Structure 1
Amino acid sequence: MNSSTSSSEASSEAAWRRFAVFLVAMTILTVVGIIAAAYVIDPYDTGRSRLFARDGVRPQGPRTANASRGRDPSFDAAIFGNSQIQLLSPERLNQRTGFNFLQLAVPATGPKEHFVLMDWFLKHRAGPVKALVVDSDETWCISDPAMPNFRPFPFWLYAANPLEYAKGLMRYDILEEMPRRLGYVFGKKPERARPDGYWDYEPNYLNLGYDTRPEVRARLEKPYYASEPTFPSDPKADQRTFPVAGKLKEFADSLPQETALVVVHPPRYKNYLPPVGTEEGYQDQACKAAMKAALAGHPRSAVVDWRIDRPENRNPDYFFDLSHYRQPLAMAVEADIAKALQGMR
């Protein structure tokens, strides 16, 4: 009786082990199959597979759409940054410069993401790149050499290593995106995300009443910095470090001489400008100086600085909030960028 029971239990255990191995094997095969299908379908049009190729992607956020846009060979110039530079119009810059600009700004991003997108754009150029315009805001003035990103970003999508890209495909949203990609590829007239990447945020702000609601307009008049001027001279001269400036120098020095590089310090409303004589003010000036010095080794480079006290930055009608400006300022910044580019010719 004991021998029979023991034999039965052993047989049952062996059956469970076989079942468990089968489940594990099927799970692995399923995951590998999904990754392989995603790699072939290429849901974000990264160019890693051409089996289901069709120019562009369906309408979606720039974090993923820029993988496709950045490969478009028709563009010979590009804009990089976050929402503080996204209002710059490629069409208007094209008219002023004769270049063909692409807008690759991504809201809520910092230098780490910007350099990734710049590398992606450059890697996919067959011909010469005429100009790169990049937004250098306060996120470029951090002291952390890791350049931490503040919001999630799909670094895997732009990875040079195919294994890193494949690993990134292991996510639930890929299961949703694959059929959407196939619908876009095989659709007769599918809606396409704007090829030049331009997104005018003015209508969104206007719909939310940012130009009319008194409580929103009142925020503009509240100073952002609490500190008052206390230092007659820089208390930390030669002590501040800006790792992003080092990264910018490496990047600028690696560019072909014919490629123009323009660093833009975007506009700020007067109450978001660091007061002169404060630690924040000295930090801002030191950061700007570091960025300018980083460009010294590249002959075709310039800085366009709108993060200063000037009449336009004192006009509340030009701003939705402390750092998001309106079309009149966007056009003024574009004019300065075009002037800087013309001065390099």
Structure 2
Amino acid sequence: MSSSTSSSEPTAAWARFLRLLLLFAAVPAAIAYAFIALVDPWGMLPLSLPLRRETVTTNQRFSYPMIAQDPRFDSVVVGTSTSRLLRPAQLDELFGARFANLSMNSGTAWEQAQLLALFTRRHPAPRVVMVGLDKEWCESGPLRRLTPRPFPEWMYGGNPWRGYGEILNPFAAEEAGKQALAMLRLARPRYGRDGYADFLPNDARYDAARAAQSLVPPPAAPAAADPAFEFPQHALLAERLAALPAVTRAVLFFVPYHVSLQPRPGTLDEQRMEACRAAITRIAKARPGTALADFMIPSPITREDTHYWDPQHYRIGIAERLARGLAAAAEGHPSAEGDYVLLVPPVGH
């Protein structure tokens, strides 16, 4: 009996130790989970503190869903960084609307379509939907969904309760801490409440000579005989446009790359771009009230080196000029300056 009793004592001690260990591990985890859930760093959970939230996460794929469902807005811009400098306040004045700019750095066409779907789900009858078209919309081959940047698909679906199973991780805890500091006005938001941020260096420090060094045409393959291009992402664009009500004005535009980045004549890139342009023109024509403007042409904007920081990113003054051109194109007016070609006028508006 004594031998049996003595052998059971260490087992009981180990069991007590494990219970205490689990308790000490569970309590901090529960506190961290409650903190994340109540602070709700991305403003996407059904139950959280009723406080004003800011955009605290650098990756716009996390920050923008909160803005996409904000009822203050009735219009939206989606695209990549080549559309990010369109200032919502200027667009509001030009279009008589309330814009959010939800253009994502290096956003794939699939990611842009998810963000647009979220916006239109929360705003069933938007006033204006604007899509900036660049190389992501003209990639041929299999559909590229994601980039190395994480994409939180749970934020874009129709079930916000799913988020409670996604937030117990170090990244969410870190972002909840940033959000708490922002709520206390101890930290600055990453982007404005309308999604806008000037991500370029101070324009006063613009160095024309340095910028010009990047404005060099990249190598290009020669044109091919009867090339075949597939653009699976175009089905996403057609689907999103078809889902818009007739009252919504849709404005599509090829962004103004510097001429050094535009496809050169006699190259495979030119053939691909022409096929892409023709396909998107057909999509735009199929939906009444849709305007399609092409700023990706040799023009007074794109020929001037001093308009650009690099081949893709123009300066602030050009962003304002682009916005004015988009407003004119949306009314069916050609460009007096030659800044764009109106490929599809907005028939029906």
TM-score (norm 1): 0.83
1:157 aligns with 2:155: yes
Q: 1:244 to 1:121 in 2, by over 3 A?
A: same
**Long gaps (5+) in structure 2:** 333-345
C-alpha deviation, 1:321, in angstroms = 0.6
* 2:319 aligned with 1:330: yes
Name whichever of 80-89 and 196-205 sits farther off.
Answer: 196-205
Q: Is 1:79–1:132's contact at 8 Å kept on the other side of the alignment?
A: yes
Amino acid of the structure 2 residue aligned with 1:338: A
What's the CA shift for 1:47? Answer: 5.4
Aligned pair partner of 2:291 in 279, 302, 313 = 302
Provide closer, same or farther for how the CA distance between residues 188 and 273 of structure 1 changes in structure 2, counting only shifts above 3 A: closer
**Pair 1:43–1:148, CA change in 2 (3 A):** closer
Paired position in structure 2 for 1:138: 135
AA partner of residue 217 (structure 2): P
Q: Partners of 1:271 and 1:188 in 2: how far apart?
A: 44
Whole-angstrom distance in 2 between the partners of 1:324 and 1:306 = 13
Aligned match for 2:50, one of 27, 48, 53: 53
Cα separation, 1, equivalents of 2:213 and 2:181: 47
Tell me, what secondary structure is at the counterpart of 2:306? helix
What is the CA–CA distance in structure 1 between the aligned matches of 2:161 and 2:67, rounded to whole Å? 22
Query: Does the 8 A contact of 1:108 with 1:150 survive in 2?
Result: no
Tell me, yes or no, if structure 1 residue 219 matches structure 2 residue 210. no
The one-letter code matched in structure 2 to 1:108 is: S
Which residue number in structure 2 is paired with residue 97 of structure 1?
95
Match of 2:271 among 274, 277, 282: 282
Residue 110 of structure 1: aligned partner = 108
Whole-angstrom distance in 2 between the partners of 1:235 and 1:256: 38
Residues 125 and 244 in structure 2, CA contact (< 8 A), matched pair in contact too: no
Query: Are 1:112 and 1:149, in contact at CA under 8 Å, matched by a contact in 2?
Result: no
2-structure distance, mates of 1:323, 1:7: 78
Matched, 1:291 2:280: yes
Secondary structure in 2 matching 1:320: coil
Match of 2:220, SS state, is: coil
Q: Does structure 1 retain, via aligned residues, the 8 Å contact 2:37–2:45?
A: no
Write out aligned runs for 1:1-345 (5 A): 4=3, 8=6, 11-13=9-11, 15-16=13-14, 19-20=17-18, 23=21, 27=25, 31=29, 34-46=32-44, 48-49=46-47, 51-57=48-54, 60-61=57-58, 62-125=60-123, 128-142=125-139, 143-162=141-160, 164-185=162-183, 187=184, 194-204=192-202, 207=205, 211-212=207-208, 214-220=209-215, 222-228=216-222, 230=223, 235-236=226-227, 239-343=228-332, 344=346, 345=349
CA distance in 2, matches of 1:335, 1:163: 41
State the TM-score, normalizing by the size of structure 2. 0.82
CA–CA separation in structure 2 for the residues paired with 1:205 and 1:64: 28
Matches of 1:146 and 1:26 in 2, distance apart? 44
Q: How many residue pairs end up in the alignment?
A: 331
Distance 1:28 1:140, change over 3 A: farther
- Aligned partners of 2:38, 2:175: CA distance in 1, in Å? 13
Q: Which of 65-74 and 240-249 deviates more?
A: 65-74
1:206–1:150 Cα change, 3 Å: farther
